[in-house]
Amino acid sequence: MPWRQVTPMSEKKEFISLAEREDANISRLCRYFQVSRKTAYKWMGRFHREGEAGLKDRSRRPRRSPGQSPPVLEAAVLRLREEHPAWGGRKIRARLQHLGWAVVPAASTITVILRRHGLIDPEEAAKHKAWQRFEAKAPNDLWQMDFKGHFAADQGRCHPLTVLDDHSRFALGLEACGDERRDTVRERLIAIFRRYGLPRKMLMDNGPPWGTEGQADYSVLTVWLLRLGVKVGHSGPYHPQTLGKDERFHRTLEAELLQYCRGLELGVCQQRFEVWRQTYNLERPHEALGLAPPVSRYRESPRSFPETLPPIEYGPGDVVRRVYGCGRISFHNRLFRISKAFRGEPVALRPTLNDGVWEVFFGPHRIARIDEREAEDHD
């Protein structure tokens, strides 16, 4: 797909991080990452024997540093801060522990080191406060998706598309798009679905291309998601807080990455996006996860992306109607509005306990309710 350039090293690191989980399904990961089981076990064997050095020619991260002197430790703190300017004391401390340092100072001590070197703005630090939010129970139960505005690229503008797993905060997609059109989003989502599988539900706002501005209506894109068996939810109109985790992710993205990508070609932006995404997922300690990286709570979905969709089938008791181009169906010689997004698709009507009231289904998804007393007459 356009601009998606992933280095072999980042591929291997992500594969190993997911494969190391106790409940990992190696066969499924091999299928998603498009590698053989032989190659996968070769990577895992080298990683177990040599650590990251087994995945590349060199490793600049120490596995263990017993008895390090304070100057060396302080230099390590400053080096991590230089690599990740938005990280504070707690994240740097957690990363040092993960890298195998035997003695790691308290987060407050690391903060003092940063402040002593003029690397912390007291006013900016006061803005960062933890928020309490709803959290999905398991990985892939809910993904959040949104565009992070747009900025000037070398030619045109870059529209960063973000897809985030609600439970683990794992960044499934960070895409440098040249526009926010339906086909662009669909193309990027297909690549993400092939890599990680399908979620149970996706949450997005009400704007194009996944909704109608200001309304939680269906679009061609969300109908496609329903067709894949993915439930669709929308944030409340003018209430972006519903997408809280993705909004918080966007602030981190701006602070750590986007401000350094302005004016670059889309291809270069995508390369930087992918490097940062790997760091965010595999290394960056996350406050809401007890300072563990998102990969520690993520696993790939068992629901693979279907390259060919089977036909929609309904039960013998269902009343099946096809949606006209105007977004309506004909029932009992009268018209009922469904949505233009379903034009040409078959839907099923099922009676409710209320006389004259029917529920409308698209596959397994209930998409509308119609009342025969509120029908439109045929012209």
Check whether the bond before 209 is cis (ω within 30° of 0).
Answer: yes
Nearest to 351 by CA among 301, 303, 317: 317
Residues 6 or more apart whose CB falls under 8 angstroms from that of 199 comprise 140, 141, 142, 143, 165, 230, 301, 303
Give the pLDDT confidence of 92-138 residue by residue, as tens digits.
Answer: 888 888 888 877 888 878 887 887 777 766 555 444 444 445 678 89
**CA dist 321 → 74, 225, 294, 324 (Å):** 70, 20, 45, 9
Please give the share of the chain, as a percent, with pLDDT higher than 90: 43
Task: Name the residue with higher pLDDT: 91 or 8.
Answer: 91
Please give the CATH architecture assigned to the domain spanning 143-297.
2-Layer Sandwich (3.30)
Give the pLDDT confidence of 250-283 residue by residue, as tens digits.
Answer: 888 998 899 899 999 999 999 999 999 999 999 8
Q: Report pLDDT for 130.
A: 45
Please tell me whether residue 193 adopts helix, strand or coil conformation.
Answer: helix
Give the pLDDT confidence of 63-103 residue by residue, as tens digits.
Answer: 554 444 478 888 888 888 888 877 888 888 888 888 888 77
Q: What is the DSSP string of 91-105?
A: HHHHHHHHTT-S---
**CA dist 28 → 19, 35, 282, 291, 299 (Å):** 10, 10, 20, 28, 11
Cα dihedral 28, 34, 39, 45 in deg (nearest 10): -50
Q: Report pLDDT for 62.
A: 53
Domain coordinates of the chain in residue numbers?
Answer: 70-126, 143-297, 319-377
Residues 6 or more apart whose CB falls under 8 angstroms from that of 128 comprise 88
Give the pLDDT confidence of 223-251 residue by residue, as tens digits.
Answer: 999 999 999 988 755 444 456 777 888 88
pTM of the model: 0.75
pLDDT of residue 215 exceeding 70: no
Q: Report pLDDT for 212.
A: 65
Mean of all residue pLDDT scores within the chain: 83
